[in-house]
Amino acid sequence: LCGVSIDFDNNYIYNLKKAITNYEVNKRFIEKLDSCSVNCKQDDNKKFNCQVSCPFDAILYDEDNKSTYIDYNLCVGCGLCVDSCKYGKILDKVDSIPIVDLIKNNKMVIAAVAPAIMGQFGDNVSMDQLRAAFIKIGFTDMVEVAFTADMLTIKEAVEFNNHVNGPKDLMITSCCCPMWVGMLKKVYKELVPDLSPSVSPMIAAGRVIKKLNPEAKVVFIGPCIAKKAEAKEPDLVGDIDFVLTFQELDNIFKLLEINPEELRG
């Protein structure tokens, strides 16, 4: 409930208040519920659905407790296990509660959106209408992170020109996907020296916005759960304050009865 593992009963309002009270922001945003008692079946390789879904073998089986668990030393936060569990026993933490506090307690909170937001809320919804919807929620303004993607393209071109001087030189320029970068760091460690030192467009957007407006807070909105893990990497903490997925944003629109298509841009 609210991304918090608590014992709960049928009193929803009481349990909701209890979850809010126990809410805290931490690096672990994908959790397997402690109360999971569903008897899932193993496949021919003696693996459960959540284990099969994980490309990093980060979900292990505890023989003593007869239950699977997540090894966070191996997990890159891709979120595939969340979709794999049909019983809903693996959840990603939704940061709606601290985002409300962020908006209430700060003069400037910017929504930095992935370009993929176009078309997510209707074919006829324009970026100006989405900006109006974010302002209606309480955000100060909305920016699209495509502008930092353009900046990084130039930066990586210069890096490539400096780094690749012969046929044996290699440089991996794809830095946008945290799952991809996490795979290199955890599985293909020998390729890390060839990885571009550039940050992702999301991180770059947060840094640029905060450089221009030191008091600003930034919430990134995109399609991928893995961005939540990226924002909490030790060397990136503070560049992006919180992350919402498009699905979570849609839930907020519905809760507040905001229809972007009906707004004037």
**Which pLDDT does position 107 carry in this prediction?**
94
Number of residues that make up the chain: 265
pLDDT tens by residue, 135-168: 999 999 999 999 999 999 898 888 888 888 888 8
What is the mean predicted confidence (pLDDT) over 16-38?
61
* CA–CA dist 135, 114 (Å, integer): 17
As a whole number, mean pLDDT of residues 101-130 equals: 93
Please tell me the pTM assigned to this model: 0.81
| Two structure tokens written together for 251 | 């839930």
What band does 8 get if pLDDT is binned at 50, 70 and 90? very low
Domain 12-92 adopts which CATH fold?
Alpha-Beta Plaits (3.30.70)
Q: Give the pLDDT confidence score for residue 89 in this predicted structure.
A: 86
- Compute the average pLDDT of residues 39-49: 87
Identify the DSSP state of 185: H
Q: Cβ neighbours of residue 82 under 8 Å, at least 6 residues apart?
A: 30, 90, 91, 92, 225
Q: Which CATH architecture has domain 94-265?
A: 3-Layer(aba) Sandwich (3.40)
Q: Structural domain boundaries of the chain?
A: 12-92, 94-265
CB atoms within 10 A of CB 65: 8
pLDDT-derived band at 35, boundaries 50, 70, 90: low
What is the C-alpha separation between 243 and 229, in angstroms, rounded? Answer: 9
**pLDDT higher at 252 or 32:** 252
